[in-house]
Structure 1
């Protein structure tokens, strides 16, 4: 059982998310590295939701797409999905789509996908059986 759990935790650490604060004056704008994703898909879906939420926080009511993009570029947060040293996904290919299309609350719900909040089934206490 423990060996299975160790193998699973090794696999869970394969993908990381690097969070960038676009408003930072520092050369290296990485403010956080998140790990513990189950697989590449989990990391990429989290990344989409995280960037979408950041764009929505920067969305200017009645603003043009360029104004929204400029606000996000100045004050938002960006992410990259990494597998060791290789970049798997970054927002540059999709950011304008996120800006042009208002996201739903579900599309922005990165918290429900956050591996730091997920609880393994083994962490729950056993129910008392009568």
Structure 2
């Protein structure tokens, strides 16, 4: 899939959420679409993985144990349609495992989820009816 840029926005961007437990095989558990820019898709994927790593972190676990737990129970996020500009979890995973997020914003993928905008629009249409 190749992204196409139209009026400053990139079409064809998506983030594939992968269950690392293997429960879904190689298929994503969900595909998130609606990103207008590569930066938006990258930020969403980064926060999603950061949250997943911290969810897998138990009290007193060292970085290696966190990475093992994430690799067994966590979820990865792959940005598709951004080519070489796509964020990749492998680039930051060791840092995420070594240190828990210190700011809740680092983990808050929900606030930038493009599906949230769709839900807001649906709510507005229902309240107008």
Given the two structures, how large is their TM-score scaled by the length of structure 2?
0.78
Deviates more, 1:93-102 or 1:64-73: 93-102
93-102 or 20-29: bigger deviation: 20-29
C-alpha contact 1:14 1:39 (8 A) present in aligned 2: no
State the match for 2:78 in structure 1. 80
Give the gaps of 5 or more residues in structure 2. Answer: 1-5
Task: Tell me what 2:104 maps to.
Answer: 105
Name the larger-Rg structure: 1
1:14 aligns with 2:12: yes
- Cα RMSD, aligned residues only: 2.6
Q: CA deviation at 1:12?
A: 5.7
Matching of residues 10-89 of structure 1 within 5 Å: 11=9, 13-83=11-81, 86=83, 88-89=86-87
Partner of 1:118: 117
Shift of the 66–39 alpha-carbon distance from structure 1 to 2, 3 Å rule, reads same
- Structure 1 residues 46-96: Cα deviation after superposition (integer angstroms, max 9, x where no partner): 111000000010001111110011000000000111117x46222011111
Instruction: State whether residues 60 and 68 of structure 1, in contact with CA within 8 Å, keep that contact through their aligned partners in structure 2.
Output: yes
Residues 119/28 of structure 1: CA separation in 2 closer, same or farther (3 Å cut): closer
Question: Which residue of the partner structure matches residue 3 of structure 2?
Answer: none
Bigger fraction of residues in helix: 2
TM-score by length of structure 1 reads: 0.77
Structure 1 stretch 29-38 or stretch 63-72: which is displaced more?
A: 29-38
Residues 51 and 91 in structure 1, CA contact (< 8 A), matched pair in contact too: yes
